[in-house]
Amino acid sequence: MPKIWTIVDKEWAEVFKNRLVLFTVVFMPILFTALPLLMVAIGSSQVDMGDATDMPASYLEMCGDLTGSACFTLMMVNQFLLLFMMMPLIIPVTIAAYSIVGEKTTRCLEPLLATPITTAELLIGKSLAALIPGVLATWLSFGVFAVVAYILVQSPELLRRILDPMWITAVGLLGPLLALAGINVTLMVSSRVSDPRVAEQASMMLILPLLGIFFAQIAGVLMVNAQVMQLAAVIMVAIDAGLVYLGVRVFQRETILTKWK
C-alpha cells in the first residue's frame, strides 16, 4: 500500500502542475453544477412556463400532480443532471492521459519499473490518482447542487423529485464505474500513442453513449429513471471487468519498455 500512495502522490504532484488538467478539474465541476442550478433558479422564480400538456407523455407521467412550471423545472434539471455522469468520465480520462503518455514521453517509466514496485501497485496507483479527483469532484459538485437546490426550490414535492435517490445512486455508483472504464480505455489507448491529447480524445469516445441518452431524453424518446440507471450500472460492471482484464494484459513491463515508443 505505501508504494501505491507514493505513486498517487507523485501523479498528483506532477499532473496538477499541468494547466489543462487543472482547468478541467476545476472549471468542469463549476460549469456542470451551475447549469442545473440555473434551471432550478429559473423554475423557482415563478416565471410562467406555459402549459405542461405540450410536454412528452413520459414526462407528464413522471410529473404526476406537479404544476406545469414545476414539471418543466424537473424536466430541465433531469436533463442537466446527466452532466454529473460525464464529469467522472472526463476528469479521470484527462488525468490518466497526461499521466501515462507523459511518463512515456519523459522516459521516466524505465527507472520507475526498475524499482521493487509491482505492476499491480503501479497500475492501481495510477488508476487511483485519476479516479479519486474525478469521483470526488463529482460528489462534491452534486453535494453543492443538492444544498443550493434545497435553498432555492420552494416546492417540497419538486425538491423530493429532484433529489431523487436514483440520482444519488447514479452519482455514487455509476460515476465511479464510468470513471474506471474511462481510465482503462485511456490506459490502452496510451500504449499506442505518444500525444496525451490523442489518448484523451480517443478515450472521450466513451461520452458518446451518455450524449445519446442526453439527447434521447430531450427528444422524449428515453426517460432516465431508476430502471435505466440500474441497467446502466449492471452493464458498466460488466464493461469494467472486461476493460480491467484487457488493461492489465496491455500493461506488461516488457511491452511498455520495448513497444511503447
Residue from 34, 37, 117, 244 binding other proteins (CB under 8 A): 117
Output the CA–CA distances (angstroms, integers) from residue 25 to 52, 93, 105, 135, in the order listed. Answer: 37, 11, 23, 11
Alpha-carbon distance 7 to 121, whole Å? Answer: 8
Binding other proteins (rule: CB under 8 A), the pick from 48, 51, 111, 238 is 111
| Residue 3 Cβ vs other proteins, minimum distance, rounded to whole Å | 6
Smallest distance, Å, CB 114 to other proteins? Answer: 5
Which CB atom, from 115 or from 225, has the smaller least distance to other proteins?
115
CA neighbor of 181 nearest in space, from 102, 238, 101: 238
CA geometry: angle 134, 139, 144, nearest 5 deg: 125
Asked if 195 touches other proteins (CB under 8 A), the answer is: no
Q: Is residue 261 involved in binding other proteins (CB under 8 A)?
A: no
CB 228 within 8 A of CB 168: no
Closest to 180 (Cα-Cα) out of 102, 239, 250: 239
> Near other proteins by CB under 8 A, which window of 10-18, 80-88, 153-161, 170-178?
10-18
Give the binding range for other proteins (CB under 8 A) out of 114-122, 154-162, 171-179, 232-240: 114-122
Report the nearest approach of other proteins to the CB of residue 103 (Å): 9
Of the candidates 37, 42, 60, 109, which one interacts with other proteins according to CB under 8 A? 109
Nearest to 173 by CA among 133, 93, 129, 230: 230
Question: Does 114 interact with other proteins (rule: CB under 8 A)?
Answer: yes
CB of 109 to other proteins, least distance (A): 7
Q: How far is CA 261 from CA 20, 57, 161, 190, 209, in A?
A: 23, 55, 51, 10, 31
Q: Which of 75, 46, 61 is nearest to 162 (CA)?
A: 75
Binding segment for other proteins (CB under 8 A), chosen from 12-20, 72-80, 143-151, 234-242, is 12-20
Tell me: does residue 2 bind other proteins (CB under 8 A).
yes
Q: Is 1 in the site for other proteins (CB under 8 A)?
A: no
Determine, following the binding rule CB under 8 A, whether residue 118 of this chain makes contact with other proteins.
Answer: yes
Q: Give the footprint of other proteins on this chain (CB under 8 A).
A: 2-3, 6, 9-10, 13-14, 17-18, 106-118, 253-254, 257-258
